[in-house]
Amino acid sequence: MISNSATTTLSDDEIFELLANPRRRFVLLSLRESGQAIPLTDIADSMAGASRDVGVSGPDRAERKRAYVSLYQTHIPSLVDAGVVTYDADSGFVALTDRANMLFPFLDLSDHDDDWAMRYLIIAVVGLVVYVPAAFVGTPSQLAVIGMIFLASVLLVGVFHRRAVRPSIKRRTKRRMTRRWA
């Protein structure tokens, strides 16, 4: 069971429990993308349409109903209990709270990894494009300089990568350690 939203932070277990279900992730990402409250029916319609290739006609009524019932009975109450969304039963609108910001770094992990992988790939390609032709026409000292520049660029990107990732690792480790020894 997810804890009361009166606490200021979510534990790792609570975060992973909330993000374990793709429907809850879909709700959070939809709300973040819109930047405002959204009717639950709209979220359910989008979810039903995204669950499979539905073509031009969109999801049928049964698919929309399944998505709505699942959200209404299970997933929205879990998110509300955790304090990451609010749900107004009268209007049917769902909105993010400030507490939801604790979840987004976990949802964005794969995007950041892809960005860094692309940076390393670009460096490798540029290094090969410069170094291979130089090997045929250059002197050994020129090859050494080109190699050093390439190694320095990989080192520089590695340092920036480490600094970009390290703060989130430090925060999570510190939370775990204080909880473990408290």
Q: What is the pLDDT of residues 43-63, one digit of tens each?
A: 998 888 876 655 556 678 888
Give residue-wise pLDDT tens across range 80-134.
Answer: 999 999 999 999 999 999 999 888 888 765 545 557 777 888 888 888 888 788 8
pLDDT of residue 7: 54
Is the same domain home to 91 and 114?
Answer: no
| Residue 173 scores a pLDDT above 80 | no
Q: Do both 175 and 113 map to the same domain?
A: yes
The dihedral of CA 149, 151, 154, 156: what is its sign? negative
pLDDT at 106: 81
pLDDT at 152: 86
- Residue where a domain stops, chosen among 49, 75, 105: 105
State the residue range of the domain holding 55: 12-105
Neighbours of 27 (CB within 10 A): 27
The pLDDT mean for the chain works out to 80
81 compared with 178, residue with greater pLDDT = 81
Looking at the chain, the whole-number percentage of residues with pLDDT higher than 90 is 34
**Cα-only R_g, the chain:** 24
pLDDT at 182: 41
Does pLDDT of 137 surpass 80?
yes
Please say which residue of 54, 83, 105 terminates a domain: 105
Task: Look at residue 151 and tell me whether its pLDDT is greater than 60.
Answer: yes
What lies within 8 Å, CB to CB, of 179 at 6+ separation is 11
Q: Are residues 117 and 95 part of one domain?
A: no
The answer to whether residues 29 and 98 belong to one domain is yes
pTM of the model: 0.58
Q: Do 98 and 115 have their domain in common?
A: no
Tokens representing 76? 């929205």
**Within a domain: 2:** no
- Is the pLDDT reported for residue 34 higher than 50? yes
